[in-house]
Amino acid sequence: MTLPQIAQLEFPDTELIQQTSPDKVHKTFLWDFNKGDFVLKDGKLIEVTGIEYVKIWVEKALRTMKDSLIYEGTGYGSEYHTLIGKNFHPDFTRSEYERMIRDALLQNDAITQVDNFVFTQNGERLTIDFQVKSIYGSTERGVTV
């Protein structure tokens, strides 16, 4: 008895490129986090793409508490705020901060990896620096809790 020949599947490259085309899917408007408002040029919003999009998206996602009223049920935002002021073992706390930040950021399909966490304690403040890798490149980000 002989087994039937199995045809090889071929996928055209153009189809894959269209699905991951960064400028068609991943864009946002420039945001001034110090003022808490959009940046305008000649009265119009400034659209950003690529790595600048990633930087803004990361900052917004980490500043937003997960399931806050406006995003309820979407999973958008971060839970790391729930650890602030809690007294857990430092190893557990660091592990949870990493998990919560990763979970928040990897929801975005442009972000491929979140790693290289560095924790710096300065008095009562904890700074967490990390690297975000995306389809547009890498960027260093951080939060202070």
Q: Say what the pLDDT of residue 10 is.
A: 57
**Distance set, CA 138 to CA 52, 72, 95, 110, 112 (Å):** 11, 29, 22, 11, 10
Q: Who contacts 95 (Cβ-Cβ below 8 Å, separation ≥6)? A: none
Cα–Cα distances in angstroms (integers) from residue 46 to residues 26, 27, 43, 55, 72, in the given order: 14, 10, 9, 15, 27
Cβ contacts of 98 within 8 Å, gap of 6 or more: 117, 130
- What is the arithmetic mean of pLDDT over 77-89? 82
Residue with tokens 């890498």: 138
More confident residue, 85 or 60: 60
Work out the pLDDT band at 84, boundaries 50, 70, 90.
confident
Residue 4: pLDDT over 60: no
- State the average pLDDT for the chain: 81
Q: Are 129 and 140 in contact (CB under 8 A)?
A: yes
pTM: predicted TM-score of the whole model, two decimal places: 0.74
